[in-house]
Structure 1
Amino acid sequence: MAIYRQIHTTVWKDDWIGELSIKEKLFWMYLTTNDRTTQCGVYVFSWRYAPFETGLSNEDIKKIITKFQDDGKIKFNESNNEIMITNWLKYNSARSPKVAAVIDKELKGIKTPEFESEVIMRSKDFEYPIKTEKSKFDTVSIPYRYPMDTISQPASSSEPATEPEPSAATAQETAVPATNPVRLYQEMFGMINPVIVQDINHWVNDLGAELVCEAMKRANFDQKGYRYAAGIMKNWAAKNINTIDQVKADDVSFENKGRKKSKGRVESLPEHIKQPPKEVPLTPEKEAEIDRKLQEYLSKE
């Protein structure tokens, strides 16, 4: 049983969350924070405690569960009363060996074969160091009713398998695996949360995965965080920059402007710096004093 669950304060800016009703928002928070949640995202749902803890009726809960299933956010097995939060593993990093060990332990208690297989496949996809290699039910390739937004897994069979056509949001990730923004974020800034993933996806749709990765690399080089990278991307979007060549051209333009400003500052130097000071004529008394000191010096020599 977990002590707490991390929820980012900007979760309310998520488009899907924003379109939910008050009851649906409450229930989504409940699904992700109640004391039966697990590290792998699969747990037994309690019809007894849920109405008491949320104040919702069983009828309301059934309707909301159906909606969440249709939206592809959860999967629910009525016979086992098991619920699976579809993107839990995607948004809750398990790269730590200790966390991965918890997932291995939880896998043994999952009753729904499809859920166990999906947890294993997603963990392997995100390169989480779990030790469980396959489902105890030997269900390697399971057809799913609801959409999933992870990168397709290679089939374990020796026969070629036809992968589902990727959505627009994931097409760029599969096309350029070397520039996976979510994975790059984890490597440069650490653990990622659902709100950041949502924000990254928005930027990928606007600028492309390559520019999103470039912005994060620049932020990391300057020892800054993701907000700094987001500022870079916002600046590019304002200038309608959407290719790496345009980024390079903008860099050159910025450097040229810097040189012009520097040159302008030199040309506008004050007169007393640009021109040498005028000579002031010596008075007779000053000349006599200088001659006297010169004679004293020569006599000593």
Structure 2
Amino acid sequence: MSIYRSVQVSFWQDAFVLDLTPEEKYFYIYLMTNSKASQIGIYELPKRIIETETGYNREIVEKLLNRFIEYKKIEYDDKTKEIFMVNWVRYNWNNSPKVISRVIQELDLIKNKLFVKKYVSLALESNTNKAFIEYGYSIGTVPILDAQEKEKEKEEEKEEEKEKQQEKKKSSVAVENEINPFEFYENNGFGAITPHVGEKVNAWIDDLSESLVLHAMKIAIENGALRWNYVESILKNWSTKKISSVEEVVALQEKWKLQHSHKHSKSVREEKVPEWFGKDANQPAPKTKSVVMDIEAERRRLRQELLGG
């Protein structure tokens, strides 16, 4: 990847550019010259990187991306986080063997194969791009679709499936039921949510997940600790243990209960038994009843003597 990108001075007089707002012009220049820009105009550009490099927040970034998609100047794949500069190949083509070799290398790394196919079609539209065909590309083919490429696609599909599974883990039952963590906080006795606590809730949602934040609040409710500090202490503990889903929390709780149950069982077995436990079965029982009977007999005897006297 080159360490610089050239922009023709005619850019500023282009009819499309003249109609852009200052913000849009800045963003358009950024898309062509950012740190991830490549030889082919297709490259991975996560929205977080755009935020960091432009200083825009996520809302503005998404607004500008959607605007240029509507202008048909770019395409963006949210799954692969790749951007496709639609007209890049028309204005930045070079028949140099070294450049074409570089182009092929970069195309092989692109995850979105539809972007690759569109790029190849645009590259072959011009007669000046005949050299491209000599390197194994044609309108009907996507880069090197041989056994090795198919294997690569399988690996990418597995990786995509893995990402989907991770996303499923991060989604909680609460989220599926459209429970808002902020509303949940206020509606379950924690009190009104302050801006400070609101920021912390958002931060923990980003670091862990919405489902885990909600689950921590539920645990706080069960323990009668309706305080944000208590909820945060639970989240810190999970973060330290690198827990990423409610399922992992449930598994950890079950493990703890099992261990606790074993400890409790042991303590019951070792409990001090009464003194009478284990006494010889032949040992006479206490004579409480017989003593009472002797007293009654003595009374009767004394009465007879008195009556006789």
TM surpasses 0.5: no
TM-score (norm 1): 0.44
TM-score (norm 2): 0.42
**Greater gyration radius:** 2
Please state which structure has a larger fraction of its residues in helix: 2
